[in-house]
């Protein structure tokens, strides 16, 4: 097990109640648990609760969106507009189904991953754009 950092100023020790089992124990004011077993039990419980609140697919989708944004950012390389082939995005592992906002202009539907957007144009080409307005909430 990892050794806890000791911050011993001696002035804040006393009796307190373990947050897991309720036993009282002697320790510093920042100690919340009577033992490693209770500390680990609390950690497992927190992980279970957060796992329940946010299922694994949430993190997976976050990763896809970040991946998409990175691909668009690298292709644009500081430009505000660029036409590339769709194949290039497919080969880079771009996920066309994942975006953070949609913007229609006349008959065109732009999809954005944060500030970077794409529009399918003719002949397997994709127009990439950058527009910071899409990150304003």
> Which residues are paired to 28 by β-bridges?
13
Nearer Cβ to Zn ion (20/92): 20
Between residue 31 and residue 60, which ones bind Zn ion under the rule CB under 5 A?
34, 38
User: Quick one: which of 13, 17, 21, 59 contacts Zn ion (CB under 5 A)?
Assistant: 21
Nearer Cβ to Zn ion (17/62): 17
61 binds Zn ion per the rule CB under 5 A: no
20 binds Zn ion per the rule CB under 5 A: yes
Listed ranges 2-10, 27-35, 47-55, 82-90: which one lies at the site for Zn ion (CB under 5 A): 27-35
User: Quick one: which of 16, 18, 99, 130 contacts Zn ion (CB under 5 A)?
Assistant: 18
Number of residues that bind Zn ion (CB under 5 A): 5
The three-state secondary structure class of 89 is helix
Min dist. Cβ of residue 7 to Zn ion (A)? 21
Alpha-carbon distance 67 to 88, whole Å? 14
CA distances from 13 to 9, 24, 78, 116 (A): 9, 13, 56, 54
Q: Judge contact between 129 and 79, C-beta under 8 A.
A: no
DSSP secondary structure, 51-87, as one string: HHHS-HHHHHHHHHHHHHHHHHHHHHTT-SEEEEEHH
Q: Which residues lie near Zn ion (CB under 5 A)?
A: 18, 20-21, 34, 38
């Amino acid at each position: 097990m990892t050794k806890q950092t000791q911050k011993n100023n001696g002035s804040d020790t006393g009796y307190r109640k373990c947050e897991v089992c309720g036993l009282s124990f002697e320790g510093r004011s920042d100690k919340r648990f009577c033992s490693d077993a209770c500390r680990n039990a609390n950690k497992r419980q927190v992980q279970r609760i957060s796992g329940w609140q946010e299922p694994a697919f949430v993190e997976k989708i976050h990763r896809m969106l970040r991946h998409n944004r990175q691909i668009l950012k690298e292709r644009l390389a500081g430009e505000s507009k660029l036409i590339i082939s769709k194949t290039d995005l497919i080969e880079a592992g771009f996920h066309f189904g994942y975006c953070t906002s949609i913007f229609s202009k006349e008959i065109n539907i732009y999809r954005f991953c944060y500030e970077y957007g794409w529009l399918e144009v003719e002949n397997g080409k994709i127009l990439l754009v950058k527009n910071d307005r899409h990150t304003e909430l």
